[in-house]
């Protein structure tokens, strides 16, 4: 009898341990329930203090994971292995995710802080009526440069990057849309061009830029520019703002031929296990004080009009990072080009990268 009781106790203990272990693994892999919000975001794209604040105010526990490209994010959500409640993709990715039925609609009645968003950033072409996404940050693609290391170049035009005096000195971000788009814009073409002749012209022009290219890199560009190890780089506006906060010698410009105007929005993926928590997080991030603190920390431009009233006017009046509506008219949003054309862009970019090695 004693042996039977011991056996039963042992079985109960093993079952309890298995339950606890399974619960831990589910939570650590994003398979969480109503007490957890699992967020999938770009790296260094939120003030960590705000995650703690949201946990304290809402009672939810946050699981936070990062991605380094829209494509990687979409692939993981499509595979469905992790129950992400919130993701923060760019506009063309949102357009594609909608087509592929990867998003859940957002209930605006649960987002009272939506009133804080500047109407300019609502009802845009990639998500009319903001049925599936709400604004997080926005910005431009341009050129950050160090005048003290240059021979008078000011980069009002993309053409300046081809100046022979910049041999081996230009840094480029590792992005096909950004680099091919730059090549297209420098010729006066749309950065969403699907015309093979225009794309080949852009590719040929980029080939001529090869002698000037120092490196094609990711986040490392920040320290290289801050440390004065390179005089000029193609980058995003927020990344340029980070650099400029650490090195006052740096400046930023968006060339007059045009460039990219991008938007990153919050969405609820179809994988969401906590839809109520997702709405609570979106509403929290749209709070004016929260959005202002986040913008100060991250360095990108906020679409939150109420938040701008709480920020340093020297920042919000800086047209390099908060361009006027008239200035934005010369900029383009990336369109979802479809897999075939995106493959063409990637092919041309890879060919260019191989030529710079």
274-310 pLDDT, tens per residue? 999 999 999 999 999 999 999 999 999 999 999 999 9
Whether 53 has a pLDDT exceeding 70, the answer reads yes
Q: What is the pLDDT of residues 328-355, one digit of tens each?
A: 998 999 988 988 999 999 999 999 999 9
Residue 66: which of 87, 48, 86, 42 has the closest Cα?
A: 42
- Distance of alpha carbon 343 from alpha carbon 75, whole angstroms: 15
How does strand 170-173 pair with strand 213-217? parallel
- Distance of alpha carbon 229 from alpha carbon 212, whole angstroms: 15
Find tokens 């093993």 and name the residue.
14
Contact 106, 133 (CB under 8 A): yes
DSSP character string of 245-266: HH-TT-EEE--TT-EEEEEEEE
Structure confidence at residue 3 (pLDDT): 54
Q: Read off the pTM.
A: 0.84
CA-based radius of gyration for the chain: 23
Cβ neighbours, 10 Å, residue 184: 27
Q: What b-and-e string marks burial along 138-157, b requiring 16 or more CB atoms within 10 Å of the CB?
A: bbbbbbbbbeebbeebebee
Contact 144, 250 (CB under 8 A): yes
Strand partners, 173: 217
Structure confidence at residue 12 (pLDDT): 45
| Cα–Cα–Cα angle for 305, 56, 21, rounded to 5 degrees | 125
Structure confidence at residue 357 (pLDDT): 72
């Amino acid at each position: 009898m004693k042996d039977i009781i011991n056996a039963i106790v042992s079985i109960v203990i093993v079952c309890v341990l298995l339950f606890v272990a399974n619960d831990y693994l589910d939570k650590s892999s994003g398979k969480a329930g109503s007490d957890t919000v699992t967020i999938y975001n770009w790296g260094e794209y939120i003030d960590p203090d705000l995650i703690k604040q949201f946990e304290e105010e809402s009672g939810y526990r946050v699981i936070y994971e990062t991605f380094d490209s829209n494509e990687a994010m979409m692939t993981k959500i499509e595979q469905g292995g992790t129950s992400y409640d919130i993701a923060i993709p760019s506009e063309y990715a949102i357009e594609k995710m909608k087509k592929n039925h990867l998003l859940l609609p957002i209930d605006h009645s649960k987002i009272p802080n939506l009133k804080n968003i500047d109407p300019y950033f609502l009802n845009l072409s990639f998500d009319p009526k903001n049925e599936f996404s709400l604004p997080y940050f926005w910005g431009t693609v341009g050129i950050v440069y160090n005048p003290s290391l240059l021979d008078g170049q000011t980069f009002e035009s993309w053409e300046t990057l081809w100046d022979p005096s910049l041999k081996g000195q230009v840094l480029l971000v590792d992005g096909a849309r950004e680099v091919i788009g730059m090549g297209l814009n420098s010729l006066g073409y749309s950065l969403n061009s699907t015309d093979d002749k225009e794309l080949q012209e852009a590719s040929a022009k980029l080939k001529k830029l090869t002698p000037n290219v120092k490196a094609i890199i990711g986040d490392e560009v920040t320290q290289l520019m801050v440390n004065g190890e390179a005089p000029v780089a193609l980058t995003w506006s927020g990344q340029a703002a980070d650099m400029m906060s650490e090195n006052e010698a740096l400046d930023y410009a968006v060339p007059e031929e045009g460039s990219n105007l991008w938007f990153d929005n919050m969405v609820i993926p179809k994988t969401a296990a906590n839809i109520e928590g997702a709405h609570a997080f979106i509403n929290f991030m749209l709070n004016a004080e929260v959005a202002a603190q986040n913008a100060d920390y991250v360095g990108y431009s906020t679409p939150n009009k109420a938040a701008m009233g709480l920020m340093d006017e020297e920042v919000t009046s800086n047209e390099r990072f908060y361009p006027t509506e008239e200035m934005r008219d010369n900029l383009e949003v990336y369109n979802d080009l479809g897999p075939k054309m995106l493959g063409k862009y990637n092919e041309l970019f890879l060919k260019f990268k191989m030529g710079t090695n």
